Amino acid sequence: MSDKITVDAISLEVFKNLFASIAEEMGVTLRRSSFSPNIRERLDFSCALFDKDARMVAQAAHIPVHLGSMPASVAYAVRHFEGFLQGDVAILNDPYRGGTHLPDITMVSPVFGPDGLEFFVASRAHHADVGGMSPGSLPLSTELYQEGLIIPPVKLRMSGWFNDGVLDLIVANSRAPQERLGDIEAQLAAHRIGELRLQDIIIEYGAEAVKAHAQALIDYSRRMTEATIAAIPDGTYRFEDALEGDGQTESEIPICVTIKVSGEHMTVDFEGSAPQVAGNVNAVSAIVRSATWYCIRLLAEDDVPVNHGCFEPIEVITPEHSLLNPDFPAAVAVGNTETGQRIVDVVLGALSKALPDRIPAASQGTMNNFTVGMVVNGQQYVYYETIGGGHGAGPSWHGISGRHSHMTNTLNTPVEALEFTYPLRVRAYELRDKSGGKGRFFGGDGIRREYEFLAPATVTFNSERRTRPPYGLNGGKPGACGQNTIIRADGTTETVGAKYTARLQSGDRVIIETPGGGGWGKTSSRKSKR
């Protein structure tokens, strides 16, 4: 840090908000410019700022699993190219190069000051379809190649000029090409806003002052995280839970964690977790780190700015060739959404042994992924949604009902937007009464959502907590398991597994009932009330 630059509490707060506002404005631009309901309505995207060494400086309050793993994608892109020029934009989605799953497309743009490259802006958006063996690009796969188009780090724009071949290749591999083109353009628009706003503050305050405050903000977040860890009693804490299957078999797949706390440092070791599996629930190590960091940030008493400093005091160990550190080209389609949620459950479960009066019971523990592909009069429709459920109850509160939790921060698609865009009808959208676990404090209730299809469709479920319920804590009861049901037009009813693909006809219906959250504490002699 330059001796000429003074950073004090007031100036740090000013720059903290300046950096965050840029990421937020990028997100607003991306949402308003996008074509797909998945981005426009569900807000399945994230934006962040990085320094020239690919360290995260600031983020908007978007998707936790994106923002904790995006630094790895930015670092890969920066290392991959010998340099960036004004007007360059890199694009990638490879999970083995910092990504999460193939529909999450990341873009990285340089920001230049008077003395050269100073920062990067980045965005990650979930595109509803990038090819693969089933609509929505979240198939019951056994290798990455089945999940869609793999994009290594490549320049989408070079000195301001479009790389038309790359754009054409991405769009041609989607079942909804015009939607892909519109959403890619929306990400580019967000990057233009981010670049302009960063350049504005560099011009106003000077590059050295901006960089000095970025470094100070990273240092501040590191100290805050160290203080959070120091407040946890030193010791070793273990917990184990399991996934219910990988889309190929329904056998349980264990996830184990051992947390060692020593002063201001924490080691989170996933040794003992299952080996790499054949199906689509393998999670690359960037997801594991992201979920772990998220859990530690939940413990902070104050609002800690999420940046590179938050990650430094926490060491995350994932065994090689395992479910949580698979070898390319293992299938990973829902390692992001489903395995990431279970990682949160086991980390919080271990922390509950250190902090029994602070940690809540398990929330629904799944994102209830539902993808739909339809062709009507030659036009292709691809729809993707995650559905909220019950939050776990805590030491002094009831769980929230019908909300997304933990590694997802999206919305459910509004019924009006869904029915306007796709040839289907939502026949029910309601809470599952009494699906939350009982206890001194009740877990939140899940959701019941019923769809009727007005044209033939291919649907895929990728969910969890259908047989293994969200756990309660301190004597609280578990939440209710979820359930996926298909009702055919002829009245035939079938309860299907957590991970399932089916071909539906016009008039068929799907009912998705999501899990409730776990209860907290033993029920007193008096009847507990919400």
Residue 335 DSSP class: I
> Do residues 445 and 516 lie in contact, with contact meaning Cβ atoms separated by under 8 Å?
yes
List of residues 6+ apart from 275 with CB closer than 8 A: 321, 322, 323
Per-residue pLDDT at 2:
45
Q: Say what the pLDDT of residue 68 is.
A: 73
The domains of the chain are located at 9-222, 360-530
Mean pLDDT on 498-514: 97
Of the chain, the percentage scoring pLDDT greater than 90 comes to 90
pLDDT (tens digit, 9 = 90+) per residue, 132-161?
999 999 999 999 999 999 999 999 999 999
CB 243 within 8 A of CB 338: yes
Q: What angle do CA 193, 195, 197 make, to 5 degrees?
A: 65
* Residue 526 binned pLDDT confidence (cut-offs 50, 70, 90): very low
Which of 474, 271, 241 shows the shortest CA–CA distance to 365?
241
pLDDT at 358 over 90: yes
- Write down the number of H helices and E strands in the chain: 10, 20
Q: What tens digit of pLDDT does each residue of 453-493 get?
A: 999 999 999 999 999 999 999 999 999 999 999 999 999 99
| pLDDT, tens digit, 9 for 90 and up, residues 149-200 | 999 999 999 999 999 999 999 999 999 999 999 999 999 999 999 999 999 9
The single-letter DSSP state of residue 146 is G
Strands 314-317 and 265-269, by their bridges, are parallel
Among residues of the chain, what percentage have pLDDT more than 70?
98
pLDDT value of position 411: 82
Dihedrals phi, psi of 98, to nearest 5 degrees: 95, -5
**Does residue 1 carry a pLDDT above 60?**
no
Question: How far, rounded to the nearest angstrom, does the alpha carbon of residue 208 sit from its chain's CA centroid?
Answer: 34
pLDDT tens digit sequence for 29-40: 999 999 999 899
Summarised one tens digit per residue, pLDDT across range 267-287 is: 999 999 999 999 999 999 999
The more confident residue out of 50 and 530 is 50
Q: What is the DSSP letter of 411?
A: -
The structure's pTM equals 0.94
